[in-house]
Amino acid sequence: MTTVSSTTIGYPYIGENREWKRTVEQFWNQQLSESQFEKELKNQRIANLLKQQDKGIEQITVGDFTYYDRMLDLAFMFRLIPERYHTLESEPSLKTYYAMARGSDTTIACEMTKWFNTNYHYIVPEYEQQKLSLGHNYLLDLFNEAKSVLSTTPKPTFIGPYSFIQLTKGYCEKTVASFILQLLPLYEQVIQQLVDAGAEWIQLEEPMFTQELDEEQLQLIDVIYQQLADHVPGANLMISTYFEAIPQYERIVQLPVAGIGLDFVHGYKDNLQAIKQYSFPGNKVLAAGIINGRDIWVSPLKEVTQKVEAILQLVSPKALWLQPSCNLQHSPVTTAAEKALPTVLYNALAFADEKLDELRHITYYIRNQSFETPSIIKENLMVIEKLATDVSRNNSTVAQEIKQLNKKDFNRSQLFEERIITQKNRLHLPDFPTTTIGSFPQSEKIKKIRSQWRKKEISTELYETQLRAETNRWIKIQEDLDLDVLVHGEFERTDMVEYFGEKLAGFAFTKKAWVVSYGSRCVKPPIIYGDIEWLEPMTVKETIDAQEQTDRLVKGMLTGPVTILNWSFVRDDIERSKVAIQIALALKKEILALEESGIQIIQVDEPALREGLPLRQSLQQDYLDWSINAFKLATAAVQPSTQIHTHMCYCEFNDFIEPIVALDADVISLETSRSHGELIHSLQHTPYPYGIGLGVYDIHSPRVPSVEEMYTILEDSLNIIPKERFWINPDCGLKTRREKETVDALKNMVSAAKQLRSQIKKQPISL
């Protein structure tokens, strides 16, 4: 008889009210001593553990808490610290840790990129052939801390060795063996210390196992796990996989570990088929991810219990753990503060805490063949049905517009080579034009005024007057800096997705549904719950007001359809591709409204285009087809003389150039400050045929790079990007930065651009 219990892969660490964020930022701002900082974080960790215990979770996970990022935690513990940080202090401490995360006055931060196909960004470990060693075992501390307050033995978790190796940069074919040979003994030490402390299970997260692995990769995995089994024989290791099914199931389940975790939400069909074909070892524990850890919707309890029963009809594992499909950090903490939402929507929501309740209900049912309360299943079916039949999901106008689309709606009327000539003659820009990505720092005064307006404490007229004054001030700052293409600054926007969602039909907004994007940066994704429709101009007034203050060009600034989709919690009753087309139709109307108002450059940002890409290569082309079409539908209707820009950041462009080209945008701005060499190397092999703006400094770090540092990046790129198509900009929006550092950095950026123009005039080069 298979025993059944409940567990999690991980739980959100930010707190119901973002307590973690405030604590970390207070420490950065020297408002907390290190001892106060550690005490606050400990209190938050323990509160999270006890909440899960009170919810009835039987095996509670530790190691899901971080000081910034969990990949960085491991790199720091293994002393995988790049040489440039060694001058900061003799013995690495939080000073070095946060310098790696955020940079310092003298060092740039480590590269940051997307965590698989999520909106979370992780710090990329850098191997420089340094000697690795085990620093302080923070996982042991977390285990002992949890063991002292919980009634059951906690389960430590950390990123598994294969995924950590694959997500680390810096090694090559000649050095990879040395890296692995150094790394594996450190994993063994960490695991052994946890076993010695009483850990009954240790979870190694291996999301890379969802990739389509070749024989050489599979052999490496075999070697890694056989060595762990040989050297730490007393450890019960649970390999946890998530985000999709594992293509090489038959090999992975034979690894010498005590348990395997599978995603039965996003990978249900393929994982179930693999179980049917290859069974599941009866001597291993199966951890089944049966609650969606990445969305906010109530689970269909009857359907989920049927899935679990279908699994148990096929196999009889040693034990069955029921868990969410992935770490719940991708879901907000609780729905408790969201009762102002429409009832039909609120009742259909389940955030992390509610998902724990669902997990308890399902575990109880599988054990007892009945729910704790007979009404649970009836209420569950009712809330799902009410939302499905709500009028918001049956907009006949939107349905008719989609039905009338044809091929020409997805293509510009002229090829780039033709329209760029018209644009140059109209725009009259210098070589290497300078611009910013869109947003400028939002002062406490502006945040307060916006909050007062939202609470109806001040009039709309006063609010708009204050916004206009701030926009005018920043237009003057940009002119004084001598930027070539200006922006209005986006002072009316709290978030680049939320702002548009508030002005479109089909969206809803929460009070506290926060999730982490990177570091302490939290976002509150809107909820797409109905059909999306453009109601009235969303950005025209602010953009025109700014343009009237200057003789220089002001860009219109929009968030693209795929980013709005990927950075929202999306309805699950229709395909995501259909939702993307609805958003694109709405943005098309906004873009045409900007053009009709005389705006000559319109930027449609798509920083999240890549993150929606399925992990398995065989599934990627379908996503690319519809996501690229959504962008083109939004932008293709403009005149050839209107220049369309887009922007992307932190998403591994090296293997993504072709889809970017397919967008047919006139100019793209890219992040290059943290990974400049890799992008330039990629462009050498696959040249980008449109205009390209290099992000010459990292806005996620408070440091101000010198003119010389930026000029070096620009000069290194001259043989790759023709000067006729070469733009210069920061690597992302500037909303989160302080005013002085923003102005100082932009001043240096403009100086570097002018130096480049001067150098080109003195010494023309052949391109």
Cite the annotated binding site for L-homocysteine by residue number.
Answer: 437-439, 490, 605
Q: First and final CA of the chain: distance in angstroms?
A: 72
In whole angstroms, give the CA distance from residue 497 to residue 500: 6
Burial class (CB in 10 A: 0-12, 13-18, 19+), 137: middle
Which residues fall in the annotated binding site? Answer: 18-21, 114, 437-439, 490, 521-522, 567, 605, 611, 647, 649, 671, 732
Amino acid (one-letter) located at 502:
E
In whole angstroms, give the CA distance from residue 729 to residue 434: 6
In whole angstroms, give the CA distance from residue 338 to residue 16: 12
In whole angstroms, give the CA distance from residue 270 to residue 247: 8
In whole angstroms, give the CA distance from residue 282 to residue 635: 55
How many Å separate Cα 720 from the centre of its chain? 29
Q: What are phi and psi of 717, to 5 degrees?
A: -95, -5
**Of 353, 721, 399, the residue nearest 578 (C-alpha):** 399
Which residues fall in the annotated binding site for Zn(2+)? Answer: 647, 649, 671, 732
In whole angstroms, give the CA distance from residue 435 to residue 699: 14
> Between vectors from CA 86 to CA 81 and to CA 90, what angle results, nearest 5°?
115
Grouping H, G, I as helix, E, B as strand and the rest as coil, residue 628 is helix
- Cβ-Cβ contacts under 8 Å for 587 (sequence gap 6 or more): 500, 534, 558, 560, 561, 604, 634
* Helical residues (DSSP H) of 148-207, grouped into ranges: 161-167, 176-196
Burial class (CB in 10 A: 0-12, 13-18, 19+), 291: buried
| DSSP helix, strand, coil percent of the chain (3-state; round to 5) | 45, 15, 40
What are the DSSP E strand ranges found in 171-316? 202-205, 237-240, 259-263, 285-291
Which residues fall in the annotated binding site for L-methionine? Answer: 437-439, 490, 605
- What angle separates helix 301-314 from helix 375-388, to the nearest 10 degrees? 120
Grouping H, G, I as helix, E, B as strand and the rest as coil, residue 10 is coil
In whole angstroms, give the CA distance from residue 351 to residue 173: 44
Q: Is 231 a catalytic residue?
A: no
What are the DSSP E strand ranges found in 230-326? 237-240, 259-263, 285-291, 319-324
- What angle separates helix 576-596 from helix 540-547, to the nearest 10 degrees? 30
* C-beta of residue 710 within 8 angstroms of C-beta of residue 750: no
Q: Which of 266, 330, 488, 700 is catalytic?
A: 700
**Of 506, 505, 630, the residue nearest 559 (C-alpha):** 630
- What angle separates helix 215-231 from helix 176-196, to the nearest 10 degrees? 40
In whole angstroms, give the CA distance from residue 7 to residue 246: 21
Q: What are phi and psi of 82, to 5 degrees?
A: -60, 155
Q: What are phi and psi of 92, to 5 degrees?
A: -60, 130
* C-beta of residue 736 within 8 angstroms of C-beta of residue 555: no
> Between vectors from CA 206 to CA 223 and to CA 269, what angle results, nearest 5°?
115
Other CB atoms closer than 10 Å to residue 226's CB: what's the count?
Answer: 12
Handedness of CA 472, 477, 482, 488 (dihedral sign): negative
* Catalytic residue IDs: 700
